[in-house]
């Protein structure tokens, strides 16, 4: 399963941006152009009302049904949840392709660093990993991606705690 990302225009200006990664689309691209480029088998990973749930046994169920519902390309909206929703609403062509969603049993690794709108919301990388695990369970290296992400999040937690500690001691020392 190939995956593509669709980023919010303002996110492409960030120093840490995936705007240069092949396969990442920007929401300024015309809907007509995008619709002409959509190959068969494209689906969107987004928790809409019409989304089909991706579970651990999804791939096995799809094989039993001759892969009729198995996407070969997966579009992932990259950004905060409000920005992902805005991308979805601003691009009507997204509503015309099949939708898939995740129902993770674990809370996001980002918990405590970044606030998610609901407990089942995941980061983009976590969503991609769990979707690929459901669609292509034999894919090697997916847990390694989560380990690296977890390490990055832990670094952010430590920085946040250190910053709070430094600011707290400065404030109480001088006041």
How far is Cα 114 from Cα 125, in angstroms, rounded to an integer?
A: 14
Q: What pLDDT is stored for residue 25 in this prediction?
A: 53
- Whole-model pTM: value is 0.69
Q: What pLDDT is stored for residue 26 in this prediction?
A: 53
How far is Cα 137 from Cα 155, in angstroms, rounded to an integer?
A: 29
Q: What order do you get walking across the sheet with 42-45 strand by strand? A: 24-26, 2-7, 73-78, 42-45, 99-102, 52-54
Q: What pLDDT is stored for residue 83 in this prediction?
A: 92
Q: In 3D, which of 68, 64, 69, 60 has the Cα closest to residue 136?
A: 60
Tens digit of each residue's pLDDT (9 = 90 or more) over 1-23 = 555 555 555 555 544 444 444 44
Q: Over the chain (175 residues), what is each successive 10-residue block's mean pLDDT?
A: 55 45 53 75 92 74 54 90 92 91 84 74 91 90 93 88 65 55
């Amino acid at each position: 399963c190939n995956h593509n990302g669709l980023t919010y225009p303002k996110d492409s200006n960030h120093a840490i941006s995936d705007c240069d990664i092949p396969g990442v689309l920007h929401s300024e691209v015309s809907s007509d152009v995008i619709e002409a480029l959509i190959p068969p088998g494209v689906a969107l990973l987004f928790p809409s009302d019409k989304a089909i749930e991706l579970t651990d046994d999804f791939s096995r169920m799809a094989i039993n049904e001759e892969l009729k519902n198995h996407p070969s390309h997966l579009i992932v909206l990259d950004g905060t949840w409000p920005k992902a929703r805005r991308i979805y609403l601003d691009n009507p062509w997204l509503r015309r392709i099949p939708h898939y969603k995740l129902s993770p049993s674990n809370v996001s690794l980002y918990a405590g660093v970044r606030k998610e709108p609901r407990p089942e919301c995941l980061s983009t990388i976590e969503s991609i990993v769990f979707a690929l695990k459901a669609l292509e369970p034999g894919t090697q290296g997916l847990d390694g991606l989560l380990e690296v992400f977890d390490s990055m999040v832990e670094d952010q937690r430590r920085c946040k705690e250190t910053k709070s500690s430094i600011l707290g001691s400065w404030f109480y020392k001088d006041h």
